[in-house]
């Protein structure tokens, strides 16, 4: 199957080209030329299928013409080697927990799938493929862990010195093998500028094979649709899928966009909610019909601090550039830091379920909008321990909260504090290795050339 660009000025691309290039020549985002509707029997039988089987069916619709079934099945099974449970929080509201992968955030699935698909496409080629990724925290850890140990591919993670949390930093500095952490003396924008310059540098691209792993890549964002097929199947199993509302805490809109793809393929979801923090560009679009990007503002749900969501172009395209059609299927919500705090406390007090700041936006928006007769799930996109300082602080602000509670099915709050799961603690034991670099492009380029 071919892929076209949302800007409409680039040639059609094969899957291999769109995955290796990431962005089209006209700087548009790749979209599939055809979106297959899945058969009614699939939706009727889903509640009896495993996560891996469901995901394989969805993956075949996107990638099945280009990747033989047995390879695709292996890629899917290796990607989804962890669970993604749905947890009832209160009457009619469930949490779809997307944080059971290696770095405890939902980006693991996209990163792992993309690593394996790239490996499939480049296997047997003699030149090493180098992935450059700039990160403000979460993306770097997901990509580094997704690509860890993948042969023929080396990953450089560029991150701003002293601007990522210690937990985030150790998730990409302690891995070794084919992962190199570059600590840039600058801010996130400097890291991103270095990566962009490298991609545009003809001399460098001749010397080494470079690719990006950012969230606009089709191999990273489309596999996230597996979550929604699976979430629906689990709700159906509980008899809660008849009038189903899905709420996605959103930043760059990659995650919700994959859910909208699932709906276009026939998944019977009644409507969607895009939950935002104070970064309200999409919310304003829904009110006014005008898309007006702005500078991002910092919030407690910092993985959603995005002022110009890159996947808006895909949402717009998916609905035929029709504002009314978008409004019919998606509503918006803006959740302030004050409301995030109150929501984490109230939900914990009333249900014993502990949210992270991103999931709190999702829960709040869903709870405020759910109508009689509807049921819904929101995505819990990160484990609360990834934001331990924030969450512990919020819990401590109110006296009399229960001192223990649950995250997911098991009790993971003790003495009023989030317990760090073993998987996360293990990263913190590892030996950190990083290469310090300035924010000057020539230094970065010379460094890369020496590494070949």
3-class SS letters over 92-128? CEEEEECCCCCCCECHHHHHHHHHHHHHHHHCCCCCC
Residue 129 Cβ vs ligand PLP, minimum distance, rounded to whole Å: 24
What residues from 128 to 147 belong to the interface with ligand PLP (CB under 6 A)?
138
Quick one: CA torsion of 360, 54, 139, 100, rounded to 10 degrees? 60
d(CA 208, CA 189): 24
d(CA 203, CA 53): 45
The answer to whether residue 222 forms part of the interface with ligand PLP (CB under 6 A) is no
**In whole angstroms, how large is the CA radius of gyration of the chain?**
21
Residue 144 has phi, psi (to 5 degrees) of: -60, -45
The residue within the footprint of ligand PLP, chosen from 145, 178, 225, 252 (CB under 6 A), is 252
Residue 145 Cβ vs ligand PLP, minimum distance, rounded to whole Å: 13
Q: Build a one-symbol-per-residue string for 89-108: x at contacts with ligand PLP by CB under 6 A, - elsewhere.
A: ----------------x-x-
What residues from 295 to 314 belong to the interface with ligand PLP (CB under 6 A)?
303-304
**379 neighbors 255 (Cβ within 8 angstroms):** yes
Q: Build a one-symbol-per-residue string for 199-218: x at contacts with ligand PLP by CB under 6 A, - elsewhere.
A: ----------------x---
Residue (92 or 110) nearer to ligand PLP, CB:
110
d(CA 334, CA 274): 9
Residue (150 or 304) nearer to ligand PLP, CB:
304
What residues from 352 to 381 belong to the interface with ligand PLP (CB under 6 A)?
358, 381
Span from 28-36, 158-166, 182-190, 249-257 in contact with ligand PLP (CB under 6 A): 249-257
What residues from 19 to 78 belong to the interface with ligand PLP (CB under 6 A)?
none
The residue within the footprint of ligand PLP, chosen from 181, 355, 382, 394 (CB under 6 A), is 382
Rounded alpha-carbon distances, angstroms, from residue 28 to 6, 20, 241, 320, 391: 5, 15, 35, 16, 38
Residue 309 Cβ vs ligand PLP, minimum distance, rounded to whole Å: 7
Span from 6-14, 47-55, 124-132, 245-253 in contact with ligand PLP (CB under 6 A): 245-253
The answer for residues whose C-beta is within 8 angstroms of residue 380's C-beta and 6 or more apart is 95, 96, 97, 98, 99, 355, 356, 358, 359, 362
Instruction: Please give the residue ranges that form the binding site for ligand PLP (CB under 6 A).
Output: 105, 107, 138, 215, 249-255, 303-304, 358, 381-382
């Amino acid at each position: 199957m071919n892929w076209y660009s949302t800007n409409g000025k680039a040639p059609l691309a094969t899957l291999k080209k769109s995955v290796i290039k990431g962005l089209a020549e006209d700087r548009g985002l790749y979209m599939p030329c055809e979106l297959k509707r899945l058969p009614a029997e699939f939706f009727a039988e889903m509640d009896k299928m495993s996560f891996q089987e469901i995901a394989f069916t969805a993956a075949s619709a996107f990638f099945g013409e280009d990747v033989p079934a047995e390879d695709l099945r292996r890629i899917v099974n290796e990607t989804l080697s962890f669970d993604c449970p749905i947890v009832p929080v209160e009457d009619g509201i469930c949490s779809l927990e997307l944080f059971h992968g290696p770095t405890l955030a939902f980006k693991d699935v996209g990163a792992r799938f993309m690593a394996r698909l790239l490996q499939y496409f480049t296997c047997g080629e003699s030149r090493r493929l180098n992935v450059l990724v700039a990160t403000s925290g979460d993306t770097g850890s997901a990509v580094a862990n997704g690509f860890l140990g993948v042969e023929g591919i080396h990953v450089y993670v560029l991150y701003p010195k002293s601007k990522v949390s210690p937990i985030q930093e150790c998730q990409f500095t302690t891995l070794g093998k084919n992962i190199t952490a570059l600590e840039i003396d600058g801010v996130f924008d400097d890291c991103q500028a270095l990566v962009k310059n490298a991609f545009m540098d003809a001399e460098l691209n001749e010397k080494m094979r470079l690719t990006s792993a950012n969230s606009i890549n089709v191999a990273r964002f489309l596999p996230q649709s597996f979550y929604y097929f699976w979430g629906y199947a689990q709700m159906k199993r509980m008899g809660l899928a008849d009038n189903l509302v899905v709420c996605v805490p959103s930043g760059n809109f990659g995650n919700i966009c994959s859910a909208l793809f699932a709906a276009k393929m026939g998944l019977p979801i009644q409507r969607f909610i895009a939950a935002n923090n104070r970064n309200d560009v999409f919310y304003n679009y829904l009110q006014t019909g005008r898309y007006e990007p702005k500078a991002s503002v910092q919030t407690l749900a910092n993985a959603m601090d995005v002022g110009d969501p890159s996947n808006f172009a895909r949402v717009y395209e998916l609905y035929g550039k029709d504002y009314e059609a978008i409004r019919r299927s998606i509503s918006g919500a803006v959740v302030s830091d004050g409301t995030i705090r109150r929501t984490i406390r109230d939900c914990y007090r009333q249900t014993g379920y502990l949210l992270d700041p991103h999931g709190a936006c999702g829960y709040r928006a869903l709870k405020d909008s759910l109508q009689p007769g509807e049921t819904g799930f929101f995505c819990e996109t990160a484990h609360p321990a990834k934001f331990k300082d924030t969450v512990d602080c919020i819990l401590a602000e109110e006296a009399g909260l229960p001192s223990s509670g649950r995250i997911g099915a098991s009790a993971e709050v003790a003495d009023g504090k989030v317990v760090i799961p073993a998987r996360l603690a293990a990263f913190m034991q590892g030996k950190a290795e990083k290469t310090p670099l300035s924010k000057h492009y020539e230094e970065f380029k010379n460094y890369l050339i020496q590494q070949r």
